[in-house]
Amino acid sequence: MDISYTHILYTPLTSKSSQNTSGRAFEYAVLLSMIDSAERSACRTTVMESKALVQARQSFEQFDLCMQKELLHAANAGVLSLALLEPRLFAQQTIVDELFLQLSEDRAGQLGDVRDIVAKRPMQDWEVGLSAKHNHKALKSPRLSNAASFGRAWLQVDCSDEYRTTVTEIFAPILELAGKSTWRDFGESNKLAMYAALLSAFKEELERQAANHGSMVPENLLRFLLGNQDFYKLMRMGATTQLQPFNIYGTLGKGIGSNRPVTAVRRLPLPTEFLKIAIVSGTTMHLYCDKGWQISLRVHNKDSFIQPSLAFDVNLIGQPSELFTLLMPFTSG
């Protein structure tokens, strides 16, 4: 596949962008930076064609030259940090040991893989993935609805009958409005009352399941929120790029020969209990777990028109000491 770094960099295109567009554009900038780093290291590289690649390229090209450069500078800082922790990524290889790069399709996230960009060396049975974030740190936005039990997908246990009954009652007032009326039509006070009721039901169900099933509940919840593959979270935050290794399964930070990571990427411990579950506002609850994990979940509607589901915006507000962050300032000039 032919991707011309110079050609794309100097294509002057302008438009304003949504968060989704800027996120995809940043993914593309990270991909370009990885291609450039591979070429500098004399790595034979193939970029896999996909719908996600086309969408990311189109998003990148919606920005003007100045913003494209800024995204690339931010991406370069992150890829430089990544190479320090993953020496296999751009290491010289034999002719048959090729580096494959790909952007993940949305369905990968639906199946539990949160990585946006994956680099693979099939001959070494090795891969590493990135979750690229542009000016936000959220983990994911899972949904709760009246129809689907979150328990099986999130906790690997079925939701209780009590929860099912309660959540059915919570969503009942909007079922006939779904797809026809907006949340504005529904009214702010009605919406906030629904948020509060859902938070209360969710809190009670987590406590109920933890009492019944013990440590597997907080452990499986973290696995669900962080995904079923290890990954690096690469975040452009203002004029700094941040890199965090989420090494749940122990696959990150592998050396090659005498080439070792600049620092050990330690495996992250998973929580075994909820120390406290607190509703801290009408829209937000905090989970305080052992092993250093603290999670914020903010309920909100992601759609203008009413849908029979609500989403959580999930962020880490506390983390184990094993989870570190590399900070790399960059200049946009």
> Between 5 and 219, whose confidence is greater?
219
> Tens digit of pLDDT for each residue in 163-177?
999 999 999 999 989
> What's the domain range around 65?
5-138+228-268+323-329
> Tens digit of pLDDT for each residue in 96-118?
689 999 999 877 667 789 999 99
Check whether 211 has a pLDDT greater than 80.
Answer: yes
How far is residue 66's CA from residue 244's CA, in Å, rounded to a whole number? 27
- Amino acid 10: pLDDT: 32
CA–CA distance from 218 to each of 24, 46, 269 (Å)? 31, 39, 12
212 and 260 in a single domain? The answer is: no
303 Ramachandran zone, left/alpha/beta (phi>0; psi -120 to 50): beta
Check whether 205 has a pLDDT greater than 50.
Answer: yes
How far is residue 173's CA from residue 52's CA, in Å, rounded to a whole number? 37
Q: Quote the number of domains for the chain.
A: 2
- Amino acid 6: pLDDT: 33
Check whether 12 has a pLDDT greater than 80.
Answer: no
Q: Which two tokens stand for residue 269?
A: 């411990």
pLDDT band for 162, please (50, 70, 90 cuts). Answer: very high
> Tens digit of pLDDT for each residue in 219-267?
999 999 999 999 999 999 999 999 999 999 999 999 888 889 999 999 9
172 and 294 in a single domain? The answer is: yes
166 and 206 in a single domain? The answer is: yes
Decide if 37 contacts 86 (C-beta within 8 A).
no
119 and 101 in a single domain? The answer is: yes
- Please state, for a pLDDT cut of 70, what percent of the chain lies above it: 92
- Amino acid 14: pLDDT: 36
pLDDT band for 147, please (50, 70, 90 cuts). Answer: confident
Mean per-residue pLDDT of the chain? 90
232 and 133 in a single domain? The answer is: yes
pTM of the model: 0.89
34 and 110 in a single domain? The answer is: yes
314 and 182 in a single domain? The answer is: yes
84 and 179 in a single domain? The answer is: no
- Amino acid 331: pLDDT: 85
- Amino acid 333: pLDDT: 62
118 and 173 in a single domain? The answer is: no
Least Cα distance to 171 among 195, 153, 149, 154 occurs for 195
49 and 162 in a single domain? The answer is: no
Provide mean pLDDT across the span 318-328.
Answer: 96
Decide if 13 contacts 66 (C-beta within 8 A).
no
Check whether 93 has a pLDDT greater than 70.
Answer: no
113 and 218 in a single domain? The answer is: no
Q: Which two tokens stand for residue 111?
A: 């199946």
- Amino acid 96: pLDDT: 63
147 and 110 in a single domain? The answer is: no
